[in-house]
Amino acid sequence: MGIGILAGFVLSGPAAQAADYLTARPSSQTFYINGQQVALTAYSISGNNYVRLRGIGKAVDFGVTYDAAANSVHIGSTQPYQEEVPDVPSAPTEESV
């Protein structure tokens, strides 16, 4: 029984370290576009910064769209940024009930 507990501790150590290494934490990194500081929400994962593509698109004014049918993201450098319209089902009305 003691060997099983010891083996569990030995095997769980690397898994816990890997999970900690892959944990997303808010990044305190400062971002600049053309010399101007911009506020972007970023996360640090394994020492790398990750920023939402839509956040960058908004900051530099390029189009970002998602095609759910094709499960693809399209970036349009010649298209202006447009706010994402969430797919929210409409509330039931008296006529639809």
pLDDT in tens, 29-66: 999 999 999 999 999 999 899 999 999 999 999 999 99
pLDDT band at 84 (very low <50, low <70, confident <90, very high): confident
In the chain, the number of structural domains is 1
- Domain membership flag for residue 76: yes
Work out the pLDDT band at 85, boundaries 50, 70, 90. Answer: confident
Decide if 3 is inside a domain: no
In the prediction, which pLDDT does 6 show? 55
User: Does 10 fall in a domain?
Assistant: no
- Predicted TM-score of the model (pTM): 0.61
Domain span holding position 55: 24-86
Q: How far is CA 43 from each of CA 19, 22, 47, 68, 76, rounded to the nearest angstrom?
A: 15, 11, 9, 25, 24
Mean pLDDT of the chain: 82
In a domain, 53, yes or no: yes
Is there a domain that residue 18 lies in?
no
Percent of the chain with pLDDT over 70: 66
Residue 5 has pLDDT above 90, yes or no: no
